[in-house]
Amino acid sequence: MANIRAYFSLAKAVFILMREGVVTALPEEGAPPPVRLAKSIARLVERRRTEHQPQSEKLSKALNRLGPSWVKLGQFLATRPDIVGSSIALDLELLQDQMEPFAVDKAKEMIEATLGEPVNNRFSSIGPAVAAASVAQVHRAVVQDKDGTRDVAIKVIRPGVRSRFARDLQTFYCAARAMQRHIPVAERLQPVLVVDMLATSAKLEMDLRLEAAAFSEMGENTAEDAGFRVPGVDWECTGRDCLTMDWVEGTKLSDVDALVAAGHDVPAIANALNQSFLRHVLRDGFFHADMHPGNLFVDDRSNIVAVDLGIAGRLGRSERRYLAEILYGFITRNYKRVAEVHFEAGYVPDHHDVDSFAQAIRAIGEPIHGLEADKVSMARLLTLLFEVTDLFDMKTQPQLLLLQKTMVVVEGVARKLDPKFNMFKSAEPVVAHHVQRLIGPIGKLEEARDGLHAVGRLIQLAPDMATRAERLSHEIDAMARNGVRLDAQSVEAIGKSEARHSRSGRVALWVIALSLLALAWNQIV
């Protein structure tokens, strides 16, 4: 029954996306037969466009109509132009996550249930929502404590969002498995793994204690950094469903005119934003992964203040080293080294030639170095890199998806602040410093320290590993002598399972087809 519901939900979503023109915007070249068929059907039911309503607005409306989970999926797919195409990825990047706010009384109920006491014990007042998104909304409030009163922001989880997301997740998995089964190119794109990542990311985002911990960690990492900070967390007023932090007074980074009027050095802020982000990635391996202008403020001291840390990214030490070397290779035009790093990291299969890959990397880097400062684009670099890595059988690296998306967003924000902004020039001092640190003497010492820790853990586990190896050896010997046997009950169960799987696949196709026909008929009538 759960599968049938998922197929109905998928059919409804496909129809809505067809109506809003999303399906017809999918890339035509190289599209498999199912996609070409879907595009043909979509042309029959697609709404007529108006010149005053861009595709991004239509897509935003469609996903908001489908619900919070679909908005999250859209934001996540903005990181995958290799799946949805660069045009749709750009539209998804512009997706406005704006939902109707729920009542302040309901928010107070959620806060009381989370903190286990009446809101009046902690807060002097709680105002109406100042922002409402798919997962949570934010209220301005006043905290009463022993030191007096202070303004805070309270983020409160949207009621029922977890159960709704759990239901919609089954639909996403149905679509991902169908892609992986029937579309050959999907094996490289790993759609099921993408849904796994979405599920993990959303579950983490829906526990506000984890966002509070992220703020705390980033606050410690950046305590000595000039030009960047995050709000402090009030742990006594924070729980699973509500997060209380300092209220941020400042100008939104999206309001360039207001920044100029307030006397801020706007080009310097653009440079500080880019360099701060790269520092978090390369130095800390922990970065804010949702740095759109609505989440960034500038205070009266020209510090950038980042809020909404529900989506954060992490990179391990080796990944940071590879990334630093790849970026530095592009900056210094050492394309052979960029290619070698891809092979050392295992990103490109060994059966390909390093020199041929270096030639392809050069084809990406040289045109960018020849451009004027205001035309040098990390977004263009990443788009070309997607195309080249496809030719060399490079599988998408899940751990780099959020990083790639955030780099593009940061560049876009910086360029709005300073149209002449050159991301490579801004990045060079930070990347060069961390390349030297990660692959120089200090880096080697840190790697040796990590290696000694690993050896120590291995020695501790050695007795248990020896016992397990001996038990496994005995079991393999027994299997070699007696063979692997299945009793009649097991054979019968396997047969029934296969039959059910076959029937469910046929039922799924009929459910989707009939649902689409019914939706189309209702629309026509």
Residues taking part in catalysis = 290
Helix (H, G, I), strand (E, B) or coil at 491: helix
490 to 97, 181, 496: CA distances (angstroms): 50, 26, 10
Token pair listed for 94: 């512009």
Helix (H, G, I), strand (E, B) or coil at 352: coil
**d(Cα 388, Cα 364) in Å, to the nearest integer?**
8
Q: Which residues of 200-227 are buried (b: 16+ CB within 10 A; e: fewer)?
A: ebbeebbbbbbbbbbbeebeebbeebeb
At 141, give phi and psi (nearest 5°).
-145, 170
Token pair listed for 463: 């007795």
Q: Residue 126: left (phi > 0), alpha (psi -120 to 50), or beta?
A: beta
Q: How would you classify the pairing of strands 304-306 and 228-229?
A: parallel
Name the percent of the chain in helix, strand, coil, to the closest 5: 65, 10, 25
- Fill in the DSSP letter of residue 347: S
- Which residue is it, tokens 């592009």? 330
Long-range Cβ pairs for the range 497-505 (8 Å, 24+): 504/3
**d(Cα 164, Cα 180) in Å, to the nearest integer?**
25
For helices 378-391 and 354-369, angle between their N-to-C axes, nearest 10 degrees: 160
Token pair listed for 365: 């880097």
Max CA-CA distance within the chain?
84
**d(Cα 71, Cα 123) in Å, to the nearest integer?**
32
Q: Which helix (H) or strand (E) holds 203?
A: helix 191-205
**d(Cα 232, Cα 244) in Å, to the nearest integer?**
9
Provide DSSP, 373-400.
GGG--HHHHHHHHHHHHHHTTPPP-HHH
- Which residue is it, tokens 């060069």? 432
